[in-house]
Amino acid sequence: MTDTYTKKLMNAPEAIIPEMIEGMIYAHPNIVKLEGATGRAVVAVDGPRDGKVGIVIGGGSGHEPAFAGYVGRGLADAAAVGNVFASPSPEHIKEAAMAVDGGAGVVLLYGNYTGDVLNFDMAAEECAAIGIDARSVAVIDDVASAPKDRAEERRGIAGDFFVFKVAGAAADMGLSLDQVEAAAQKANRNTLSMGVALSACSMPQTLKPNFEIGSDEMEIGMGLHGEPGMRRTKVASADAVTDEMMGLILDEMALDAGAEVGVLVNGLGATGLMELYLINRRVAQILGSRGVEVWQTWVGEYCTSMEMAGASITLIKLDDELKQFLAHPCRTPALMVGSAPEPIAGAMLTKRDYVQTSKGNGVDRSALATDGAITPAMFRAMMLAAGAAIARDRDYLSELDGVIGDGDHGVTMSIGWNAVAKALEAAPESDTITETCEKAAKAFLDAVGASSGPLYAGAFTSAGRAVADRLNLNAEAMSAWVGGMLDGILSRGGASVGDKTMIDAWHPAATAAREAAFSGDAIVVLAAAAEGARLGVEATRDMESRRGRSKKLGERSVGHVDPGAASAHVILQAMLDVLRS
C-alpha cells in the first residue's frame, strides 16, 4: 500500500461518529432528534405515530447524507447509524425500532452487505422477542456485483435512495405492514445502478487510501466502500464512461418506447456537479434515443463514499403507483419533496413497555471442573492480549482488506476488541471463563456492526458454552474452546472452508487443536491451533473469494491473503504468547 496520507477535519477518530450526529442534530433540531442509550438512533421529530408502520433505515457512516439524512416526516422514521463503512449493531437497530414502534410493525431497510444482513436479521429477531413485528428489505440494485440470475446476491448502492423513498411514502400514507413491505420490494425489483471510481477514499482511523489506483486509471463497478470493481481500465471521456454504465443497466432493464423512469446521478464524495451534469446529459440522450421518458431527475451527492472521486447512475422503472410514492411530500435534512407535510391533528406515539428476559447465569462454581492449568484470571489475560495484538496490527489488517475489500477490517476489529477490553476490565474477578466469553460477546456485538460483530459475538458465545462445565481449562477443554469459536462463526455466517474467509483459519485451527488434545498439555493444544491458523492464512492466498465484498473480484482476489483469516491467527498467537509466558 502507498505511504501517502490524507487529511481530514476531525477531532479524535474514535469520536467522529457521535460528534457528526451531534452536529446534525444542532443543524436540524426541528426534523431529527437522538434517542436510545447507544446514541446511534437518529429519529424523526415529526413522523412516528400510533397505527403507522415504522420505517427504520441504516448502515455504515461515510455515505452521508445516507443514512440519517433521510430521516424525517414522509420518509424514514429513524436511522441506525453504524461506524464508518460498518453496519450498525443489533442494539442500535433495535433502539431505532423501539423509538418508532407505533404498534403496526416496522420495516427495516438497508444495503445488501454481509454485515448489514447479519446485524439487521439479529435485530429483527430481538424485535420479535419484545413484540415488534419487524420485516427486512435488503436493497440489491448494483448490477456490477452479480449477474441477473443471482440478483439476490447484489449489493445495495445509491438505489437505496429510491427504495427508502417509496417505503417511507407508503408508510406515511397509512398503508399496512404487508403493503409497505410489498411497495419497498417493488421499488427494489425495478431499481438498477452502476458506478465508477476514479480515486480511493480513506478511513478516519488510518488516513491512508484504502486501495491504490493509477493517476490515469478508473475502476468500473466500484462499490460504495471502496471494494474493487469489475475491472480496471484507463480513464475515458464522460460520454464513454456513461455509455458503459448505462449499457449494463439497459441490458437488463426492459424499457420500451414510452416507458417512464426516475434518474439519479450520484456523486461519490469528491466529484463536482460539473462532471455529474455531464453524465446526466449523456443519460438523457441515451434514454431519449430509445423513446424513454424521464419523469424526474436527481443530480448530486445522495450516497457517497467518504472522499472518493467517482459517480453512479441509478434508474427506477416507474408505474403510476411508484410515481405516487416518489411524489409524496417528505421533509428530511437531505431531501425535501413538495411542501412540508402538515402535522396530523391528534397524532402521537405511545411509549411502550418492552419485556426483556434477564440472562443471569447463576453459576454454581462448586460444580465446575477445576483440573487444568488455564485459570479464569489467566484466560482473561489471554483475551486482553489478543485485543492488544489486534490494536497493534490494526493498520496491517486494514491494508490487507483494502486490496480485496473495503479497507476497514483492522479498524473494525480494533474497535470490537477495545470494547471487549473495557468490559473485561470492569468485570468481577470472580467471573468464570464462560462469563468472560459472554461479556466479550456482548461488548463486541454492541461495538461492531460489521459482519465481524455478529460472527465474533456468536463465536465467543459458542466457545463459552463449550466449556461451561469448567472453572479451569485443560488440554481437552482448550480444544473445545477453539472448536466452539469455529462453531459459533459457522452457525451465524454461512461461509464454508475454501470461501476465503476467517473460516479458512479457524477450521484448521480447530482441527489441529482437536488432534493435539491427546497431549494433555493446553499449551501444546493452543500452539497447534495457532500454527493451524497460520497455515490457513497462507492457504487463502491461492483461493478465489466466494463470500463477502471481495466475492465479485473473482480471479482478482487470488494472490492476496484474507484479512479475516489473518486476524484469527493474530488472536490465537497472542493468546498462546501469554500462555507460554
DSSP states of 364-421: -GGGSB--SSB-HHHHHHHHHHHHHHHHHTHHHHHHHHHHHS-S-HHHHHHHHHHHHH
Q: Is residue 324 part of a domain?
A: no
Question: By residue range, what is the domain housing residue 146?
Answer: 13-187
* Cβ–Cβ under 8 Å, residues 31 and 53: no
Q: Are residues 19 and 146 in the same domain?
A: yes
Alpha carbon of residue 451 to chain centroid:
6
Catalytic residue among 63, 92, 225, 507: 225
Domain count, the chain: 3
Q: Are residues 461 and 539 in the same domain?
A: yes
Q: Are residues 267 and 407 in the same domain?
A: no
Predicted local confidence at residue 354, as pLDDT = 85
pLDDT tens, residue by residue, 20-67 = 999 999 999 999 999 999 999 999 999 899 999 999 999 999 999 999
Predicted local confidence at residue 403, as pLDDT = 79
DSSP per residue, 468-483:
TTBSSB-HHHHHHHHH
Q: Report the distance separating Cα 143 and Cα 229, nearest Å.
A: 11
pLDDT for 566 beyond 90: yes
Task: Band the pLDDT of 222: cuts 50, 70, 90.
Answer: confident
Q: Are residues 166 and 297 in the same domain?
A: no
Residue 123's region, left for phi above 0, alpha for psi from -120 to 50, else beta, is: alpha
pLDDT for 360 beyond 70: no
Please identify, among 288, 314, 340, the residue that sits at the C-terminal boundary of a domain: 314
Query: DSSP code of 344?
Result: P
pLDDT for 407 beyond 70: yes
Predicted local confidence at residue 551, as pLDDT = 62
How many residues are there in the chain?
Answer: 581
Q: Are residues 118 and 177 in the same domain?
A: yes
Q: Are residues 112 and 77 in the same domain?
A: yes
Q: Report the distance separating Cα 333 and Cα 30, nearest Å.
A: 10
Q: How many CB atoms lie within 10 A of CB 296?
A: 15
Average pLDDT of every residue of the chain: 92
pTM for the model stands at: 0.83
Pick the most confident of 137-151, 227-241, 350-364: 137-151
pLDDT tens, residue by residue, 432-459 = 999 999 999 999 998 887 788 899 999 9
Q: At what angle do helices 475-493 and 452-466 cross, to 10 degrees?
A: 140
> b/e map of 487-510 (b: 16 or more CB within 10 Å)?
bbbbebbebebebbbbbbbbbbbb
- Span 253-282, average pLDDT: 97
Q: Are residues 224 and 278 in the same domain?
A: yes
CATH value at residue 222: 3.30.1180.20
Query: DSSP code of 137?
Result: E
* Cβ–Cβ under 8 Å, residues 511 and 488: no
Please identify, among 289, 314, 339, the residue that sits at the C-terminal boundary of a domain: 314
- Span 173-201, average pLDDT: 96
- Span 172-187, average pLDDT: 98
Q: Report the distance separating Cα 38 and Cα 445, nearest Å.
A: 12
Alpha carbon of residue 478 to chain centroid:
32
Query: DSSP code of 132?
Result: -
Q: Are residues 167 and 218 in the same domain?
A: no
Predicted local confidence at residue 1, as pLDDT = 43
pLDDT tens, residue by residue, 520-531 = 999 999 999 999
Q: Is residue 44 part of a domain?
A: yes
Q: Are residues 181 and 199 in the same domain?
A: no
- Span 250-274, average pLDDT: 97
Q: For residue 28, indicate whether it is catalytic.
A: no
Share of the chain above pLDDT 70, in %: 96
Task: Band the pLDDT of 88: cuts 50, 70, 90.
Answer: very high
Share of the chain above pLDDT 90, in %: 78
* Cβ–Cβ under 8 Å, residues 87 and 56: no
Q: Is residue 243 part of a domain?
A: yes
Please identify, among 277, 295, 314, the residue that sits at the C-terminal boundary of a domain: 314
Residue type, 443: A
Least confident of 4-8, 75-79, 129-133: 4-8
- Span 208-235, average pLDDT: 84
- The three cell numbers locating residue 433: 471463563
Q: Are residues 107 and 176 in the same domain?
A: yes
Q: Are residues 422 and 444 in the same domain?
A: yes
Predicted local confidence at residue 358, as pLDDT = 45
- Span 164-186, average pLDDT: 98
Q: Is residue 113 part of a domain?
A: yes
Predicted local confidence at residue 143, as pLDDT = 95
For 76, the 3-state DSSP assignment is strand
CATH value at residue 153: 3.40.50.10440
Q: Is residue 208 part of a domain?
A: no
Query: DSSP code of 446?
Result: H
Q: Is residue 353 part of a domain?
A: no
> Which stretches within 130-272 are classed as H helix?
160-172, 177-189, 238-252
Q: Are residues 199 and 180 in the same domain?
A: no
Q: Is residue 429 part of a domain?
A: yes
**Cα–Cα nearest to 561, from 394, 396, 355:** 396
pLDDT for 94 beyond 80: yes
* Cβ–Cβ under 8 Å, residues 138 and 112: yes
Predicted local confidence at residue 2, as pLDDT = 44
pLDDT for 263 beyond 60: yes
Q: Is residue 415 part of a domain?
A: yes
